[in-house]
Amino acid sequence: HRKGLKDPITGRYPLDRGTGNYIVALIDSFELTGKQSYLDRASLVIKNTASPTEDLSQRDLGNVEETWFYTVYLQAVCRYIWAKQTSAQLDESYDYAVQVLVHFAKWMCVNEEPYLSKPEILEFPNQTWTAQDMRKVNVLLAAAMFSEEAHKFEKKAVQIRNFVIENLANSKEKD
């Protein structure tokens, strides 16, 4: 099968920006039409992409060039959680999405750093990576709302945010 599409044999979706964008499109469709089937489909996509019990070391998320977009997926999960909250659907699918978000945020607290703090790991180290760091900040702050470890998530988010602000302030690319 083509990379980036649902695997027809396993039924699994890749942990990538395409899957994240698909989830967002489904949520947009739900919000525009009110049809529950769109939100239900987003639920299935989330469940068939990541698990709150998986060993994230198997995802090779440290390979930045190949996996940076996992944060796009996680931002879509955040959007899904908010859509479920807004429509008062605090069910098993909602709980699953929250657990996935918190699971990844725990990994992020230990393993993530601003991309430009290690420019040697990047093929083209430029301020585009700063925008991706802001995705991390958003995901960590969202996860903090659902975890007893909120202080750790918030601390990591502030650390990355402060790096971004300082890095942009001193960048030739800021304008």
Each residue's pLDDT tens digit, 80-137:
999 999 999 999 999 999 999 999 999 999 999 999 999 999 999 988 898 899 999 9
CB atoms within 10 A of CB 5: 11
118: DSSP letter = S
Residue 72, pLDDT > 70, answer yes
133-160 burial: b if 16+ Cβ within 10 Å, else e = bebbbbbbbbbbebbeebebbeebbebb
Residue 24, pLDDT > 90, answer yes
For 133-155, how does the pLDDT look when each residue is reduced to its tens digit (9 = 90+)? 999 999 999 999 999 999 999 99
Residue 1, pLDDT > 60, answer no
Residues 6+ apart with CB under 8 A from 123: 65
Q: What is the pLDDT of residue 170?
A: 84
Residues 6+ apart with CB under 8 A from 142: 78, 81, 101
Q: What is the pLDDT of residue 5?
A: 58
- pTM of the full predicted structure? 0.92
Q: How far apart are CA 19 and CA 77, in angstroms?
A: 10
